Structure 1
Amino acid sequence: MCTSLTYENSRGDHFLARTMDFAFELNGRPMFMPRNRTVKGDAGDFTTTYGFVGAGRSLGHELFVDGVNEKGLGVAALYFPGNTAYVDQAASDKLGLAPHDFTAWALGNAGSVAELGELVKTIQLVNVPVALLQVVTPLHFIVSDSTGATAVLEATSHDLHLIDNPVGVMTNSPEFGWHLQNLSTYGTLTAEERPLNDYLGYQSKTQGPGTGALGLPGDYTSPSRFVRTVFAKHFSQPTADTPSTLNLLQHLLDSVTIPKGVKLKADGTSDYTQYRGYMGLENHTYYMEPYDNQELQALALTDDLLENCHTPTEYPLNHQVHIQTLN
């Protein structure tokens, strides 16, 4: 389970951030993918046009769960159990992709949300398991670009299309449309203190600031995390530069970050936030924040990296130092 959100600061810079919540240890790390790379995907090969950076691993082939490319497109995959409708075999006129290969394909081939909206009409997601888990991963995806356009892809039918995301937030099941409708339940919440009524001549004493948010759900379910993130994003004070925006995004994700042990699955394993990822869509930089170290570790998609590195490269995470810039 995961939470994601987009953000535009007062300077007009755009960001996509996410928590990676999972019980199985994914051991994701910052990774670079070069231009013009043929990926041996689990449902068929595909070639990248654009270079990108994100969180991934090389496990037989390059796998990414989120990232940002050289055109400023950001993509993040989130768990979507019980709602996917993958095909067993792609149609003859479509490219078949394993669900876990979609992120790398999208980052490698689309320069914007609008361009991706056209490209997804040419693919289908196929019932192929990921080797690491030996299961077909039920996924949906949030995509955003440096214009601020944000959309969701949910494979609830065999024909794929992007869904506009007006709030720039996504969590997990149910379907995205359900989450938008559910927001109306909390549409009267506010950051301001609410005045208390005089009941039958008795004037209740205030409980102090924060009463405007009474009723805001605080649990770790997907619907609650969605509402809580929309509320916090909407009322947070704007930021003006990249450092202050990254700091704000960390604080926004604090309310949905899951510590080990507080959310247990049926088999007793702990579903927790293994890392938090932040994508700068203007500066083409990926920032990773592992569970054991709350300082950001940055991997920038520089011209030098794009032009001179032709091999997918993983960068080890440092869980001890306060900050590390990866080169």
Structure 2
Amino acid sequence: MFYTFRLLFWDGQAKMNMSKMVSCLVAVALVSLQVSSASACTFITLTGADGTVVASRTMEWGAFDLSPEMTFVPSGTAFSAMTMPDGQDGAEWVAKYNIAGVTLLGQMLFGDGVNSEGLNVSLLYLPGFAEYQAYDPDKASISLAPVDVAGFLLSQHATVAEVRNGLNNIRVVPIVTPELGEAAPVHFSVTDKSGDQIVIEYLDGALSVYDKTLGVMTNSPPYDWHINNARNYVNMRADAWPSRDVNGIDIAPMGYGSGLIGLPGDFTPPSRFIRALAWTQTARPTEGGEDTVHESIRILSNFVLPMEAVDKKLNPAELEVLKYGGTQYTVSYDLRNLKVYFQTSDNPSVRSVDMSTFDFDALSGPIKLPMRNLAAPFSTDVTPAS
């Protein structure tokens, strides 16, 4: 039986005329040249036979070490946004839910995470296109920096529906992240344990929410462009193409994989998006739980990057440069069983934490576990005794 892509086609909501499309393609090319050395994150979702939804991502950032930490935040924890451009305090809030996720740069800035209700938020780079809402001093109390958004959503909402309804009650404004020297150009994937999912972007100073997603996300350009681009690959399938008779000669595929001939192999965001879509749509059926996590990590191993060229303009704070490649960590969130699995560039062994057994009530505040452990052995010696 042929297995073809189950694509949710572009619905025409964001149709481009030819001139706009040409402009977009030029912009993509320029952005790729400028930031290919920085960020190339890839996000995927898989669902097991038992209904387990697993949201997973790689975190690429080649300019410097993000110092990722697995962070546990109990409900009741007070948060505050970064200081606004005019020196006013930004939004302040108290966490309604327990959170486990990855914080970056020694701060309470979540790159991704899951809360005790099974909601996942993942932040990915969107350079060249992210443009935030204008700062209004009269609305400072509901304003957030882009890097505050993931933590806010995780701490305040239980479902994607709640996130969708709550986005109009906040403003995301261009607050500079000092380590970057600019407002972080990012977008967000939000997934809950039911499998409901949205993508959030801020474009041309306005909020854009995509209710129809393909279960994968990468970087620039905006999400609707990627959905439209997927139309170029509807011929992809898991099964090999059949042989053909040409003038009495049997022309058969050269070997395994002919169904994916034409799959782009480079590491640009558009190509990675199509590969992520191909691998998730042709993934083996999984039982759920760790079996689905295992398949997710296997798929994401196709996106691990070698050391990327370091652009000093992307490292104004002159932070430590990576040693083992641009993929700083891979993390997989089981939204049903509330388990988090991760591996890092310095140690590819998979480690996990279990929110369901962790005693959040015993915490007086957030605690952090460094994800990089240079003291841990790189390999396990299994040499038999003589």
> Match for 1:290: what amino acid?
T
CA RMSD between the two structures: 2.2
User: What is the correspondence of 1:94-243 to structure 2 with a 5 Å cutoff?
Assistant: 95-243=142-290
Asked if the contact 1:30/1:288 (under 8 Å) is kept, the reply is: no
Q: Which residue is equivalent to 2:299?
A: 252
Q: Which residue is equivalent to 2:309?
A: 264
Q: Which residue is equivalent to 1:275?
A: 329
Q: Which residue is equivalent to 1:2?
A: 41
Counterpart of 2:74 (choices 18, 34, 40) is: 34
Quick check: 1:309 aligned with 2:369?
Answer: no
Compared with structure 1, are the counterparts of its residues 158 and 121 closer, same or farther at alpha carbon in structure 2 (3 Å cutoff)?
Answer: farther
Deviations along 1:17-63, one digit per CA (max 9) or x if unpaired, are 0000111210112111121222232142422221201001474x511
> Match for 1:264: what amino acid?
A
Q: Which residue is equivalent to 2:56?
A: 17
Instruction: Output the CA distance in 1 between the equivalents of 2:66 and 2:328.
Output: 8
Greater radius of gyration (CA): 2
> Match for 2:235: what amino acid?
T
Counterpart of 2:120 (choices 74, 97, 112) is: 74
Residue identity (%): 29
TM-fit CA distance, 1:169: 0.4
Deviates more, 1:72-81 or 1:188-197: 188-197
> Match for 2:284: what amino acid?
Q
State the secondary structure of the residue aligned to 1:315.
strand
Asked if the contact 2:160/2:198 (under 8 Å) is kept, the reply is: yes
TM-fit CA distance, 1:183: 0.6
Deviates more, 1:187-196 or 1:176-185: 187-196
> Match for 2:61: what amino acid?
F
Deviates more, 1:85-94 or 1:287-296: 85-94
Asked if the contact 2:132/2:206 (under 8 Å) is kept, the reply is: no
TM-fit CA distance, 1:8: 0.8
Asked if the contact 1:99/1:125 (under 8 Å) is kept, the reply is: yes
Quick check: 1:84 aligned with 2:84?
Answer: no
Asked if the contact 2:117/2:159 (under 8 Å) is kept, the reply is: yes
Deviations along 1:185-229, one digit per CA (max 9) or x if unpaired, are 010111111123333444334302211110011110101111011
Asked if the contact 2:109/2:147 (under 8 Å) is kept, the reply is: yes
> Match for 1:275: what amino acid?
Y
Instruction: Output the CA distance in 1 between the equivalents of 2:358 and 2:342.
Output: 21
TM-fit CA distance, 1:132: 2.9
Count of residues in Structure 1 that have an aligned counterpart in Structure 2: 320
Structure 2 unaligned regions, length at least 5: 1-39, 84-89, 314-320, 380-386
State the secondary structure of the residue aligned to 1:228.
helix
Deviations along 1:89-132, one digit per CA (max 9) or x if unpaired, are 14745711000110100100011000000111111111111233
TM-fit CA distance, 1:136: 1.3
State the secondary structure of the residue aligned to 2:349.
coil
TM-score normalised by L of structure 1: 0.91
Structure 1 unaligned regions, length at least 5: none
Asked if the contact 1:53/1:285 (under 8 Å) is kept, the reply is: no
TM-score normalised by L of structure 2: 0.77
TM-fit CA distance, 1:301: 2.1
TM-fit CA distance, 1:292: 1.9
Runs of 4 or more off by more than 6 Å in structure 1? 268-271
> Match for 1:11: what amino acid?
D
Compared with structure 1, are the counterparts of its residues 161 and 87 closer, same or farther at alpha carbon in structure 2 (3 Å cutoff)?
Answer: closer
User: What is the correspondence of 1:285-324 to structure 2 with a 5 Å cutoff?
Assistant: 285-302=339-356, 305-317=359-371, 318-319=373-374, 320-321=376-377
Instruction: Output the CA distance in 1 between the equivalents of 2:109 and 2:276.
Output: 27
